[in-house]
Amino acid sequence: MLANPIDFPVRFSNLHHMARSPAHYLHALYADRQTPAMRLGKLFHAVLLGGEYVVFEGERRGKKWEIFESEHPGEEIVTTKELATANAMAAAARKHPEAAFLLGGRHEVELKWEIGGRPCLGHIDVVGGLHVTELKSGQTSQPGRFEWHALRMQYHAQLAWYFDALAITGSPRRDAYILIVEALAPHVTTAFRVTDRALEEGRKHYRLWFEQLRNCEESGVWPGYCDAILPLDVPDDDEVRLTIDGEELEVA
């Protein structure tokens, strides 16, 4: 029998799924899924900021893998290939001209707080003297492209969530940064400062999701996008714009 959703502290990693629908939030709450990209990102964090893992010298298949996995229950297992990539990414991050500043401070800081009596939980990558820094890994850190991805992934809402948590727990900060490292060589690294306007917009988003979450928890109803039958029509324009991977394509 699944635990009651209200028994889980609210984490942003789950909360942001409310942007899609309450049904997606509920699924994420119980899902035990880790994609290769997620696994690499987690390992990158561990290498750069400190974390525990065990290394398997081989591929994630076959009898040797099954035996090794059974011998390390509950531990973070990585392959030598994954570790090599994470080490290269961490080295690239350290070479950024602002790395000493952006990575300076306490690492992997756990915060516990409440909003309206509802327990919340967060882990912040770096808490510096006057700033917080979130480490990200992905396909691109290119200015002009990453910003679109960051908004789609709600990173500004995530930083606002952490900012408010720090303020509630008596440790307010002034600036928020994202250090993004590309997962593919040469692992180009770019730093971004999240503007006050972006933080305020992100704050509006997470507060709306939180309110929707509380309504769902109280009612026990977790709807999808829409229960009504919706019309599927074509625009009046002569051109239809399609968006693929964030790039607009014009189709006559």
DSSP string, 14-44: HHGGGGT-HHHHHHHHH-----HHHHHHHHH
* Domain assignment of residue 102, yes or no: yes
* Domain assignment of residue 213, yes or no: no
* Domain assignment of residue 190, yes or no: yes
* Domain assignment of residue 131, yes or no: yes
Burial 41-78 (b: 16+ CB within 10 A, else e): bbbbbbbbeeeebeebeeebeeeeeeebeeeeeeeebb
* Domain assignment of residue 149, yes or no: yes
72 within 8 A of 91, measured Cβ to Cβ: no
Show Cβ contacts of residue 209 under 8 Å, excluding neighbours closer than 6 positions: 15, 16, 18, 19
What would the pLDDT profile of 184-223 be if each residue is shown by its tens digit? 999 999 999 999 999 999 999 999 999 999 999 999 999 9
* Domain assignment of residue 180, yes or no: yes
Residue 29, pLDDT score: 92
Low-confidence residues of the chain, pLDDT below 70? 1, 237-252
Name the pTM for this structure: 0.88
* Domain assignment of residue 176, yes or no: yes
Q: What is the span of the domain harbouring residue 111? A: 96-208
* Domain assignment of residue 154, yes or no: yes
Domain count, the chain: 1
Percentage of the residues of the chain whose pLDDT score is greater than 90: 82
Residue 145, pLDDT score: 95
Q: Which two tokens stand for residue 162?
A: 């952490």
Residue 170's CATH number? 3.90.320.10
What would the pLDDT profile of 39-53 be if each residue is shown by its tens digit? 899 999 999 999 899
Beta bridge partners of residue 114, listed in sequence order: 119
In this structure, what are the phi and psi dihedrals at residue 148, rounded to the nearest 5 degrees?
-65, -45
Residue 230, pLDDT score: 95
Residue 185, pLDDT score: 96
